[in-house]
Structure formats: C-alpha cells, structure tokens
Structure 1
Amino acid sequence: MATPRKSAQQQAAREKALAKAKELTERHEKLIELAADFFQRQEQAELVRADAKKKADALLAKAEEDAQDAVRGAARTVRAMLDSGEPKSGVSARLGLSAGELKRLLDLLSEDEKKSSTENNSPAAPEAADRESQNAAV
C-alpha cells in the first residue's frame, strides 16, 4: 500500500482541527447561553426581592399607622374615663397602667389636639386647654 500524500495528511489534520474547533465553538456558545440565562435569573430574583421589600415596607407603614390610630383610640378612652370624674389613680389602677403610661397617653392626645388646632385654626384649642388644666388638677 502506498503512503498517503503529504497534502492528504494535511487535509485530514485540517479537517480534524476544524471538527475539534467546531465542537469547542458549539460548547462555548452553549456556555454563553447558559451564562446569559443565569444573569437574567439573577436580575429577576433581585427584582422580586425589591418588589417584595417595597410591598413589605408599605404593609409595615400601614400597620404602624393603624397601630397609632388604635393607641389614639385608647388614649381617647382614658380621656373619657377621666372626663367622667374618675381620678387618674383610679383609671391607672383599673387599666393596669403606670402613672407614666397614663401621662404619655394624655400627652399624645394633647399633641394631636395642638396639631389639629393649628391646622384648622379653630376655636376648639382653648376648650382643649381648659380640659387639660381641669384634668391636671385632678
């Protein structure tokens, strides 16, 4: 049998190199597609987290607002008990509040009344001040 010509050997080596390069190129392209998918999913995860954080912050803000409204309602109840003639010590004992806690609730109402009187410029502010001074005397 005759030995293959040098040009035939070169052609076979070239074809083998091209086949290997094609295989490497296909693998490289597949890895690029997978990497792009990875980065897309990472970005999607960050968007989901950011959206969830925004919703959680809004929910917490609403909950805090509702809780403050409830505390103000409780303070109005304390004020109503005092307005009925019950002494502060009796209200504190009945509700299980310390004197400081009772004062904080009443101060909260006073702050709200001051804010609303300055916002509305209504004549209710002197009446509120009169009630405060009456309650302070008790």
Structure 2
Amino acid sequence: MATPRKSAQQLAAREKARTKAKELTERHERLIEMAAEFFEQQEQAELLRAEAKKKAEAILAKAEADAQSAVQSAAETVKAMLGAGEARSAVAARLGLSGAEVKRMIDLVTERPEPAEPDGVEGPEVTEPGDVEAA
C-alpha cells in the first residue's frame, strides 16, 4: 500500500486544527455570554439593595418623626398633670420617671418652636399696654 502524501497529511492536520479551534471559539463565546449574564445579575442585586436601603431609611425617618410626636404628646400630658396641681415628685413617682426626666419633659413642651412667618411677611406689631403714647 502506498503511503499517504505529505500534502494530504498536512491537509488533514489543518482540518483537525480548524475543528479544534472552532470548538474552543464556541466554548469561549458561551463563557463570555455567561460572564455577561453574571455581571447583569450582580448589578441587579446592587440595585435591589440600594432600593431596599432607600425604603428602609424612609421608614426609619417616618418612625422617628412619629416617635418624636409621641414623646411630645407625653410631655404635654406631664405638663397637664403638673397644671392640675400635682407636685413634680408625685408626677415623677406616678409615671416612674426621675425628677430630671420630668424636667426634660416640661422643657420639651416649653421649648416648642413657634411656626415661622413666611419670608417677607411680618406679623402684626404687638404693643404692651404701657407702650401706647398719649395722643
């Protein structure tokens, strides 16, 4: 039998190399697609976390505002108890507060800021009874 020619061997080797290269290229393309999918999923996870964090911060801010409102109402109740003639020590004992806590509650009610006038608008001028000049 005759030995195959050198050019036929080279042709077969090239064809085998092309087939192997094509398989490697296809595998490489699949891996690139999977990597792209991975990065998209990672970005989606970050977006979900950021959105959840924003919602949580809004919930906490509302809860804090509601809690401050409740504390303000509690302070007004303490002031009403004192206004009813009850001694500070008796109010403190009844509510389970220290004297300092009762004072802080009173301060909360008395330090309540007044609503500000809109810019450029001044409120009515108030005169004391002794400030009126004789006409």
Same fold (TM over 0.5): yes
Aligned to 2:33, the other structure's residue is in SS state helix
Displacement of 1:3 after TM fit? 1.0
Instruction: Note the 1:1-138 alignment, pairs <5 A.
Output: 1-112=1-112, 115-116=113-114, 119=116
Displacement of 1:122 after TM fit? 8.6
- For the residues of structure 2 that align with 1:111 and 1:67, how far apart are their CA atoms? 18
- For the residues of structure 2 that align with 1:56 and 1:32, how far apart are their CA atoms? 36
Gaps of 5+ in 1: 124-138
Displacement of 1:16 after TM fit? 0.3
Residue matched to 1:128: none
- For the residues of structure 1 that align with 2:12 and 2:41, how far apart are their CA atoms? 44
Aligned to 1:15, the other structure's residue is in SS state helix
- For the residues of structure 2 that align with 1:33 and 1:101, how far apart are their CA atoms? 64
The 3 A distance-change label for structure 1 pair 122 and 20 is farther
Identity of aligned residues (%): 67
Runs of 4+ in 1 over 6 A off after TM superposition: none
- For the residues of structure 2 that align with 1:122 and 1:23, how far apart are their CA atoms? 88
Displacement of 1:74 after TM fit? 0.3
- For the residues of structure 2 that align with 1:45 and 1:15, how far apart are their CA atoms? 45
The answer to which structure has the higher helix fraction is 1
**Cα deviations across residues 30-59 of structure 1 (Å, max 9, x unaligned)?**
110010011000000000000000000000
Displacement of 1:97 after TM fit? 0.5
